Chains A and B, each alone.
Chain A
Amino acid sequence: MVSLSSRVTPVCLLLMLFAGVFFSISAVPERQCALHEVKKVDQIAVKQREMLGPVVRIGTRQSTGSGTIYEKIETEVDGTFEYLVLTNHHITKTRMVFSFNADFIIGKLIRVPIDTGCSVVVFDHEGQKTKRYTAKVVAEDAYLDLAILSFRSDQSIPVALSATDEMLKDVRVFDDVFAVGCQLGMRPTPTFGIISEVISGVTRKIEWMLYGTTSPITYGSSGGGLFREYDGHYYLIGIPFRVAMTPDYQVMSHLGNAISLFTARKLLDNNMVSKE
């Protein structure tokens, strides 16, 4: 019995090896390529839906940037939704312009801030259409460089899948990531790279976390989305907010930083976003 198994096992193994080599050379390419092609097409459709769709362009009187729709709330008005957009404070703060009024009684110029508002431009990537909405700032934090905008629409707009805390804890150096943003004020476009560093700390009793990423970003990418794949879906893990520069202001686009969603949750949780 022992001698039989010792003879059968090597024969079986050799047969398996030959069969494997034979299929890898001949039969598999056509069938597997066809299957591979279908899977690839599906995966690209998923990427477009989950990463391009939720990213919007934020416009102010003085600047432009990106934002990511992370929540959709049904309103009491029939058929309209309130959408919440996560972006950077350094974009939304440019909505403020200042005028100077002369106060003749005290003999001084008084600086008067005027809120000129923000707009959100939503892109329909299939129809190549755009729609502009007026948005209000519902929360902002200059220290974390984060802001939340809201706008109302009767359209169904894709919302980003937010990574859970478990997923965020799992983000490691060398993980593949995509950055999506309105680079140079264009429509949302993706770039691909890896996580190059994960930095965390505690300042002013606030726990924060940043990701370094090689996914190229440039002016206009701020406030967009940094996405990572989990189980075939693409989840928002961070907000690209700055990029390294040389002393002569040449952007080092592969040395970007994104605020982790883990940090962004502090703003979302602490500022009690209006859901009216």
Chain B
Amino acid sequence: MLSRTNFLVSILLLCLSTVASYASDADTKRREMLHTSVYVGTETGDGSGTLIGKTDTGMNGVFRYSVLTNEHVTKGRFVSDPKSPTGRVDKECTVWTFDHVNGTYEAWPASVIAENKEVDIALLAFNSSEVLSIAKFATQDMLDRIGIFDEVFAIGCNLKDDFPGPTIGIISLISTERMGEVDVIVYSNTAQLVPGASGGGLFKEHDGHYYLVGIPFRLDTMRGNHLVPHLAEAISLSAVKNLIHKNAVILP
């Protein structure tokens, strides 16, 4: 009788530990992917971004955060103004950060610190007193080992005005594309995207953690300009690293 009770208790504990391990994986996914995603708003457009760097400003509890996004998202900050000598005014960007537990968000004024139109990447920075999650950057070795059929997650603010959300898919093609004077690796993937997800993050699991491997930037279209959400493309992080190093972003 005693042994049967112990046996049942043991089975129950094993089940609980299994459930706990699943729960912790979901927590890791949320912490390392979802919580690092932000919304980038401009005067005439919007998209997504990923928090990639955090430095202490020296001011009491204020951090300077770096956000990686697409240039085609940040270029919406320019508004035409005939009175301006350049014919346009820079209205800057706004970054929205999200508290997924309480369902709240906050907006922070952000400035563009670097951008590359050819490769379609931009780096934003903003100051915040909030403690925010930073995405883990994939190493070059991890990027080199990415192959077709690898499982990936795309995180972005799908349809623009929503909280960031994940989609799951696989790498379907790896190609090299000439962008300006640089050869850029592009990951085609089936993690579905819609407008608003540009500039978000493409993540891949490695040793139980989720690493940023690319920046979703484009969707294929077919007849009548219908979008094909499962034919998404992301710029490999290897193309982004120069921009980040030049601008002295401290990666986690």
A50 to chain B, nearest CB (A): 11
* Chain B interface mostly: mixed
Residues of B contacting A187 with CB < 8 Å?
173
A-contact 0/1 string along B43-83, CB 8 Å cutoff = 00000000000000000000000000000000000000000
Residues of A contacting B188 with CB < 8 Å?
189
Query: Which residue on chain B has the smallest CB distance to residue A215?
Result: B190
Residues of B contacting A190 with CB < 8 Å?
148-149, 170, 172, 190
Q: Considering the chains assembled together, what is the distance between the CA atoms of A129 and B247 in angstroms?
A: 38
Q: Considering the chains assembled together, what is the distance between the CA atoms of A38 and B231 in angstroms?
A: 28
Cβ 8 A contact of A249, one of B2, B145, B224: B224
Interface residue B89 (Cβ < 8 Å from any Cβ of A): no
Q: Considering the chains assembled together, what is the distance between the CA atoms of A191 and B229 in angstroms?
A: 12
Interface residue B220 (Cβ < 8 Å from any Cβ of A): yes
A-contact 0/1 string along B221-241, CB 8 Å cutoff = 011101011110000000000
B101 to chain A, nearest CB (A): 26
Q: Considering the chains assembled together, what is the distance between the CA atoms of A59 and B59 in angstroms?
A: 65
B80 to chain A, nearest CB (A): 33
B-contact 0/1 string along A51-75, CB 8 Å cutoff = 1100000000000000000000000
Residues of A contacting B230 with CB < 8 Å?
191, 216, 218, 253-254
Interface residue B208 (Cβ < 8 Å from any Cβ of A): yes
Can you list 14 residue pairs at the A/B interface with Cβ under 8 Å? A14-B6, A20-B17, A41-B147, A44-B149, A48-B148, A125-B148, A189-B148, A190-B172, A190-B190, A191-B230, A192-B169, A218-B230, A219-B223, A253-B228
Which 7 residue pairs of A and B lie closest in terms of their CB atoms, listed nearest first? A10-B6, A189-B172, A216-B230, A9-B3, A47-B149, A13-B10, A191-B190
Binding site for A on B (CB under 8 A): 1-3, 6-7, 10, 13-14, 17, 21, 145, 147-150, 169-170, 172-173, 188, 190, 192, 207-208, 220, 222-224, 226, 228-231
